[in-house]
A and B are shown apart, each in its own frame.
Chain A
Amino acid sequence: MAYSTKVIEHYENPRNVGTLDKGDKAVGTGMVGAPACGDVMRLQIKVNQQGIIEDAKFKTYGCGSAIASSSLLTEWIKGKTLNEAGQIKNTQIAEELELPPVKIHCSVLAEDAIKAAIDDYKKKNIT
């Protein structure tokens, strides 16, 4: 299968790979997918007092499109409010990376991951 140059670029130089401290109250973690399905995405966000995502890290087990989708997502959400980040749609990611139909589920997974990370952060910070 031929990948778009954008997928290859993200795949070869993934942004924001890493791990944030799960125990930190300011960190929200979203882990979606399943090993049996061939992809698992873990997205972590660090949110500051103003409700803005100041850092984001990911690790992904999956195909090149899944890795590129999560890498792109971390770039997009940094500096956004939780509300803004929660509104990112999988179609935007698929469009930006020119994903073929068979790889659309990778972008869906990325959307699920940011939603899960936001939920996790909110659960930890109910006041």
Chain B
Amino acid sequence: MIPGAFDYHSPQSLDEALSLLKQHAGDAKILAGGQSLIPAMRFRLAVPSILIDINRLNDLRYVEERGDHLAIGAMTLERSLEDATVVRSSYSLLHDTAGVIADPLVRNMATVGGNIAHADPANDHPATMLAYDATVVAKGPGGERTIAIDEFFTGLFENALSDDEILTEIRIPKPGAGSGGAYTKLERKVGDYAISAAAVQLRLDGGAIVEARIGLTNVSAVPMRARAAEAELAGKSPSDDVIEAAGKAAAAECDPSPDLRGPVEYKRDVTRVMVKRSIATAIARAKGGN
């Protein structure tokens, strides 16, 4: 399968990329890792007339703590995320996620920014970033702005970026003392999308869950938070009953579509189980200091 013809640009700097994007706003598509876009182009599901390849922008590849947050450059490879010491030591939810995205070969090309900007509810980072209460940084001709992750996903494959903006960075707040997180995913095989997956980030204080955010993967048309499940945890001391209640709430509030990965009832129940497992792991890690 051969993609449709397009004009190709390979800017050497972010400014050059932004100027090309402004010039071709509406017609141009950004090529990041290409691991979703190129397959879509081969199927002719996407037929962009202009591609702006930002893989030469090595300035956008970094993972490091800055002030009160972890800064991830948009072009950071998933493999780099998986290998980053700071991610392994302090961001368990992100580390869990990075290791189950697609397959090891795809992770050598796929980027964190691309995964998020694609705004596919079947991708793994959206749920994780929702659970982290991350912030997206976008740059356009008018300068830089930040977008709260809760405002970022506006529809199926649609995000809050305007046509002339590029996602440049993702910021994850540093987890406070007593925090823990986990990502649990059920997939038919490596490389397939999740049947369902749950991202949980929470904080314990004095034996009670004082903060909890939960994101769900591939069980809604738009990447979603499981707010009813979060409410089941808020202020409670962790117990089997509390965790079960949160799992049931998530199963009720998600909105999966039936497909070859299973019918709606099955996906709801898998969601219940994924949420429960992520909460239990997150609590164990919060107690263990990670």
Asked if A and B bind, the verdict is no
Interface, chain A (partner B; CB < 8 A): none
Q: Contact residues of B with A, CB < 8 Å? A: none
